[in-house]
Amino acid sequence: MTHDTAQSTKPRVVLLGLGAMGSALARAWLAAGHPVTVWNRTASRAEPLRALGADVAATAAEAVASGELVVTCLFDDASVGEALAGTDLDGRDLVELTTGTPDQADARAEWARQRGARFLSGGIMAIPPMVGVPEAGGYVFYSGTREVLTEHEATLAVPLGTRWAGARPGAAALYDIALLSAMNGLFAGVTHAFALVRDEEMPLKEFSGLLVSWLNAMASTAGSMAEQIESGDYTRDVVANLPMLVSGNRTLEAAAREQGVDYRLLSPYSELLEERLAQGFDEEGGTGALELLVKRP
């Protein structure tokens, strides 16, 4: 398995999983001079990395045995359990960059602890082309055993920036999913906007520039929303109150009907504001709708 290269003074990285993201991570570590051992269930995916100097393991157990820092970038949490079944994790640091839920990360941390490993969970806020390109701004949320990040941060920061999310193992996954959830809402609005104007005179490329500029300006309101939530005062610094927002959303729905566009992407949010207004919170803005989403004990 060992590749005949000069000994590196940099720590070895053991990487399990060579999809688009895993392969990008491996290339970044290799380019930075780290010895890298890779394993993938479909062995052919490792060959391009072998050509770049990676050591290719025949099994996950063989890969894990070659180094202290073990990074997983697999399909899901179940894949991690399957890949690591029967491997010796005692004394190793397991860094999971596999997308999963917060509760799965919490459970995986305990699973690793029982096998003698320290655990760090990661949530990747980047796409493969951003890996190894610092100016692209990609980073990874990390949570769990803080000492693991402290000891390996120089290595983990090679492909993507690092951001500490907290001691709860599932925190990284939670912040990852929170940002992705906001992204999905954004894409829903953008899709609806394009549906409205798709047949109009202005070229869609020109409209897209206006759309991006408008969304960037509106994104700044997230800060004031955070202040309202932390204070518990949803009437604080309200620019548009619920009656205004509800009336405006009814106009949006009517205009969609006129344009022959289904309102289904926006209707859940409109319905939430209608419900909050019906409860008598006339002086609030839209942030108070959060109270209708959170299931309290």
Model confidence over 185-211: pLDDT tens digits? 999 999 999 999 999 999 999 999 999
Mean pLDDT score of the chain = 96
Residue 4 has pLDDT above 50, yes or no: no
Residue 26 has pLDDT above 50, yes or no: yes
| Percent of the chain with pLDDT strictly greater than 70 | 97
Q: Is 281 helix (H, G, I), strand (E, B) or coil?
A: coil
Assess contact for 145 and 119: CB atoms under 8 A. yes
Residue 1 has pLDDT above 70, yes or no: no
pTM listed for this prediction? 0.92
| pLDDT of the residue at 240 | 97
Q: Which helix (H) or strand (E) covers residue 185, if one does?
A: helix 171-197
**Largest alpha-carbon pair distance within the chain?**
73
Assess contact for 172 and 122: CB atoms under 8 A. yes
| pLDDT of the residue at 297 | 75
Burial 170-200 (b: 16+ CB within 10 A, else e): bbbbbbbbeeeeeeeeeeebeebbeebeeee
Residue 90 has pLDDT above 70, yes or no: yes
| pLDDT of the residue at 253 | 98
What are the φ and ψ backbone dihedral angles of 99, each rounded to 5 degrees? -65, 130
C-alpha atoms less than 13 angstroms from C-alpha of 181 in its C-beta half-sphere: 7
Tell me the CA distances in angstroms from 106 to 55, 112, 145, one per residue in order: 31, 10, 12
Q: What is the average pLDDT across 103-108? A: 98
* DSSP assigned state of 201: S
Residue 6 has pLDDT above 60, yes or no: no
Confidence class of residue 7 from pLDDT cuts 50, 70 and 90?
A: low
Distance between CA atoms of residues 64 and 87, nearest Å = 7
Model confidence pLDDT, tens digit, residues 229-276: 999 999 999 999 999 999 999 999 999 999 999 999 999 999 999 999
| Percent of the chain with pLDDT strictly greater than 90 | 96
Model confidence pLDDT, tens digit, residues 140-185: 999 999 999 999 999 999 999 999 999 999 999 999 999 999 999 9
| pLDDT of the residue at 202 | 98
Q: Which pair of structure tokens corresponds to residue 60? A: 């996950």
Strand partners, 180: none
Model confidence pLDDT, tens digit, residues 32-72: 999 999 999 999 999 999 999 999 999 999 999 999 999 99
| pLDDT of the residue at 117 | 98
| pLDDT of the residue at 185 | 97
